[in-house]
Amino acid sequence: MTIADRIQSLRKSKGMSQEELADRIGVSRQAVSKWESEQATPDLEKVVIMSDIFEVTTDYLLKGIEPVKADEHKTMADVIDQKILTEKNGKRMKTALKWFLIGAGALLAIDLISMIIYFLVNGFPG
């Protein structure tokens, strides 16, 4: 979507004619028509005025970048907290894996010792 498309779409969504928009900005209807047909581009002062009229950011008008909602912003503290939690979870997983391997090794050792004792007491088959 181009700036021309965004201007036209926003104007129509507000139920405004080209004439009404032109009056509010302080330009001719032909200027608005040229912007919407990509024959011309509004200067920055006009873009700022349109952003106020349409209640959007200049970034949206110029580049189509949607604003980030307030609840989507992360503070540095949020990022640090998440990093710390991730690191703690990683350490917990390593510790859990270490104890699992120690336990499995101990069970194998006990099983091997039991088998050796069994063969010593009962003799080898065969």
* pLDDT tens column, 64-97: 888 766 656 677 888 888 888 888 888 889 999 9
Kindly report the CATH number that applies to the domain delimited by 3-68: 1.10.260.40
Instruction: For residue range 17-45, list pLDDT tens digits in order.
Output: 999 999 999 999 999 999 999 999 999 99
* Helix axis angle, 29-36 to 18-25, nearest 10°: 110
Instruction: Mark residue 64 as left, alpha or beta (left: phi above 0; alpha: psi -120 to 50; beta: remaining).
Output: left
Single-letter residue type at 23: D
What 8-state DSSP symbol labels residue 74?
A: -
Which pLDDT score is estimated for 86? 85
